[in-house]
Amino acid sequence: MSLLETRTTSAMLYLDGVHVSFDGFHAINNLSLTLEPGEMRAIIGPNGAGKTTMMDIITGKTKPDKGEVVFDGTTDLTKLDETQIATLGIGRKFQKPTVFESQTIEDNLLLALNVDHRVRGTLFWRRSEPESKRIDRVLEIIRLGDARDRLAGSLSHGQKQWLEIGMLLAQDPKLLLVDEPVAGMTDVETHQTAELLKEINSHDKTVVVVEHDMTFVRELGVKVTCLHEGTVLAEGTIDDVSANERVVEVYLGR
């Protein structure tokens, strides 16, 4: 651990030798991964490959048994909790869209805004002009502008996905972790989502996308990492990875 304090990397996200096991089951096994600032990376892998657990580790929900997780060159994420990590500028969209269903779409975005998140700050918070503008802008991007006063619970599955991406935008993090963003979307929506993510990425945001939908991954056109049994199986362009014998083996079984 003392090594960590002196080491700095140029990477936005740096995982090295990470292990996690639950009651003897090795969910993550010697996982190493590096993301440069401004990079977008797609993560694929069969069920149980450890994709979601990896996200849990980065966001502080699960503590690794051993290994290093470093954010933005210097920050050791294993010592922080979810709140601190989120405050650092890591945003996450969940596999199952998780929005605040009993609140309006506008309020969902309002909650996500990266303003003072302390108790006193929220108790005496009053909306300012730039904040209103930002919410309007996000609503426009996620195409829910005319539904701003509807309860988030009344949205369709795809709309919830978009709202959650919208919350990520409002949060304005440096690193975005996006878990299965296009599940339950139409082809058109999938395409739009890919465009949106590319757009976000072009504004110097680092993005990690976990997805099963290969058309979507292909459309993103970024470096792909394939996980299997908690470790990196292959890395490269989508064509390289899907041509990889071991990847094929893992997906097909022997």
Partner 1 sequence: MPLIRLLRPSLSRLLFAALALAFVHLATQPALAGPYEDAVAQFAAGSFADTEEAIGKLVASAHPRAATIIVALQDGRLFADPDAKTVFIKAEDGKVTDAATGDAVAALPDKASAVRLNNKLRRAVSGAMAGLTLLSPDLNKRIQAAQSVFKTHDETVLPTVEAALKAEKNAAAKQAFAEARAAILLFKQDASDVDKLDAIAVIKARGDQEAMALLTGVPAGQSAAVTSGIASAKAAIERNLALWSMVQNAWYGLSLGSVLLLAAIGLAITFGVMGVINMAHGEMVMLGAYTTFVVQEAIRTRYPALFDYSLLIAVPLAFLVAGAIGVLIERSVIRFLYGRPLETLLATWGLSLIQQQAVRTLFGPTNREVGNPSWMSGAFELGQITITYNRLWILCFTLAVFAILLAMLRYTSLGLEMRAVTQNRRMAASMGIATSRVDALTFGLGSGIAGIAGVALSQIDNVSPNLGQSYIIDSFMVVVFGGVGNLWGTLVGAFSLGIANKFLEPVAGAVLGKIAILVLIILFIQKRPRGLFALKGRAVEA
Partner 2 sequence: MTPHILTRSLNRSATVFLLVLAALGILLPLSNLLLPDGSFLHVPTYLISLFGKYVCYALLALSIDLIWGYCGILSLGHGAFFALGGYAMGMYLMRQIGTRGVYANPILPDFMVFLNYKELPWYWYGFDMFWFAALMVLIVPGLLAFCFGWLAFRSRVTGVYLSIITQAMTYALLLAFFRNDFGFGGNNGLTDFKDILGFNVQADGTRAALFVLSCLALGIGFLICRAVVTSKLGKVLIAIRDAESRTRFLGYRVESYKLFVFTLSACMAGVAGALYVPQVGIINPGEFAPGNSIEAVIWVAVGGRGTLVGAALGAIVVNYAKTVFTSGPLAPYWLFMLGALFVLVTLLLPKGIIGTFNAWWEGRKEKDEARDRAQRDSATAAAAESAAREDGVIERTMVKR
* Interacting residue ranges for partner 2, rule: CB under 8 A: 59, 61, 81-83, 86-87, 91-92, 94, 98-103, 107, 110-112, 114, 117-119, 122-126, 150, 154, 156-159, 167, 171, 182-187, 189-190, 212-215, 242, 248, 251-252
Radius of gyration of the chain (CA): 19
3 binds, among partner 2, partner 1, none (CB under 5 to 8 A by kind): none
State in angstroms the smallest separation of the CB of 114 from partner 2.
7
Decide: is 25 part of the binding site for partner 1 (CB under 8 A).
Answer: yes
| Phi and psi torsions of 23, nearest 5° | 50, 45
Q: Which part of the chain contacts partner 1 (CB under 8 A), choosing from 51-59, 122-130, 189-197, 229-237?
A: 51-59
Report the nearest approach of partner 1 to the CB of residue 27 (Å): 8
Alpha-carbon span 151 to 163, nearest angstrom: 11
Neighbour-count burial of 248, counting CB atoms closer than 10 A to its CB (0-12 exposed, 13-18 middle, 19+ buried): exposed
CB of 108 to partner 1, least distance (A): 22
From the CB of 96, what's the least distance to partner 2, in Å? 10
**What is d(CA 146, CA 243) in angstroms, rounded to the nearest whole number?**
45
Identify whether the C-beta of residue 171 lies closer than 8 Å to the C-beta of residue 92: no
Residue 10 or 21: which CB sits closer to partner 1?
Answer: 21
H or E segment and range at residue 163? helix 157-171
**Which two three-digit tokens encode residue 129?**
């002009």
Binding site for partner 1 (CB under 8 A): 22-23, 25, 27, 52-53, 56
